[in-house]
């Protein structure tokens, strides 16, 4: 049985229990992170912990653990769950257990939970052929840079995509691309890569950072710039990035081919750079 961590203890996942009064359960009052671990090594751990700190700051919750404590807990968890296999570590912090009331409780300890599971990578077929997406209106709140556990809008948007037989929803706010329901978005036009700039409208993805770094250090043209709906629809290539999917090509958008309907040349370059970068670690 998978081992998990709950409030200072390591235990089997099916033994971990929290109160029904937990504010994460009742109010979605908490934040989370998803961190890959390749061959037992947590990927960009410091960046994920920094983003966690920003999310906690965004919801006015004190970080219950120091950076060293987080590193220790998460590494132990990976080691206990077959480190040979690539893992995806999920952690969540909620405002703890208290009588239900919207306003913050006083002197309540945060609930800290973490688990580690094998990463379910897209199949080689999906990687080689790309995925399909639809565009939907981004009806989420105005603080999407906070990695909040309250994901109901993202859940409904992703399910709408699934109901329409596609893999992801690419979201538009005021005519501009923000991100995917659970990914960041890149487009390529005439060999120039573009991704929306960081703002409260989107999550500052760690994979997005890696793509920006790899592109810049390999002399690819990459910019952080607003992407209009028209630019998305006429792009030569569209990519999605996330910790669990890495960089995936979107080859069909709103039932129409993107480019020639196959992952493009620039995607091939970035995808092999990503692979080489991972192998070097
Ligand atoms: N989600 N935007 C949203 C809304 C996301 O949920 C995610 C990732 C990303 C990509 O961020 P990163 O590159 O740091 O994984 C962007 C994770 C994987 C999840 O919720 O499971």
Last residue of a domain, one of 118, 152, 172: 118
Specify whether 152 is located in the same domain as 215.
Answer: yes
| Catalytic annotation, residues | 147
Please say which residue of 118, 140, 170 terminates a domain. Answer: 118
Q: How does pLDDT run along the chain (281 residues), one tens digit per residue?
A: 789 999 999 999 999 999 999 999 999 999 999 999 999 999 999 999 999 999 999 999 999 999 999 999 999 999 999 888 999 999 999 999 999 999 999 999 999 999 999 999 999 999 999 999 999 999 999 999 999 999 999 999 999 999 999 999 999 999 999 999 999 999 999 999 999 999 999 999 999 999 999 999 999 999 999 999 999 999 999 999 999 999 999 999 999 999 999 999 999 999 999 999 999 98
State if residue 92 touches ligand 1 by the CB under 6 angstroms criterion.
Answer: no
Residue 244 Cβ < 6 Å to ligand 1 = yes
As a whole number of angstroms, the distance between CA 201 and CA 143 comes to 6
Give the mutation target among 243, 247, 248 for probing the ligand 1 site: most ligand atoms within 8 A of CB: 243
Partners of 177 in the β-ladder:
172
* Counted domains in the chain: 2
Instruction: Tell me how crowded residue 13 is: count the other CB atoms within 10 A of its CB.
Output: 14
Residue having the nearest C-alpha atom to atom 16 of ligand 1 = 183
Do 252 and 142 share a domain, yes or no?
yes
Q: Which domain holds residue 14?
A: 3-118
Residue 36 and residue 102 share a domain? yes
pTM of the model: 0.97
Using a 6 Å cutoff on CB, does residue 34 contact ligand 1?
A: yes
């Amino acid at each position: 049985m998978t081992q998990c961590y709950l409030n200072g203890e390591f235990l089997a996942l099916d033994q971990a229990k929290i109160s029904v009064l937990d504010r994460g359960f009742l109010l979605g009052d908490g934040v989370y992170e998803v961190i890959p671990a390749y061959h037992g090594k947590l990927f960009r751990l410091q960046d994920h912990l920094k983003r966690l700190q920003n999310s906690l700051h965004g919801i006015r919750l004190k970080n219950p653990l120091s950076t060293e404590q987080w590193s220790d807990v998460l590494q132990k968890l990976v080691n206990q769950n077959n480190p040979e296999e690539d893992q995806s570590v999920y952690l969540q912090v909620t405002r703890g257990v208290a009588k239900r009331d919207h306003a913050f409780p006083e002197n309540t300890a945060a609930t800290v939970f973490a688990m580690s599971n094998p990463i379910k990578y897209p199949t080689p077929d999906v990687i080689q052929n790309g995925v399909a997406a639809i565009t939907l209106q981004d009806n989420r709140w105005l603080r999407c840079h906070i990695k909040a556990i309250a994901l109901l809008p993202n859940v409904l948007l992703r399910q709408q995509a699934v109901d329409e037989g596609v893999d992801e929803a690419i979201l538009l706010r005021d005519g501009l691309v923000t991100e995917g329901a659970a990914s960041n978005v890149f487009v390529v036009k005439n060999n120039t890569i573009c991704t929306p700039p960081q703002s409260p409208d989107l999550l500052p993805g760690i994979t997005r950072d890696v793509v920006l770094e790899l592109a810049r250090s390999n002399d690819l043209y990459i910019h952080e710039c607003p992407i209009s709906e028209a630019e998305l629809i006429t792009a030569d290539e569209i990519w999605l990035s996330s910790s669990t999917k890495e960089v995936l090509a979107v080859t069909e958008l709103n039932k129409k081919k993107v480019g020639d309907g196959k992952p493009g040349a620039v995607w091939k370059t970035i995808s092999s750079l990503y692979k080489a970068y991972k192998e070097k670690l």
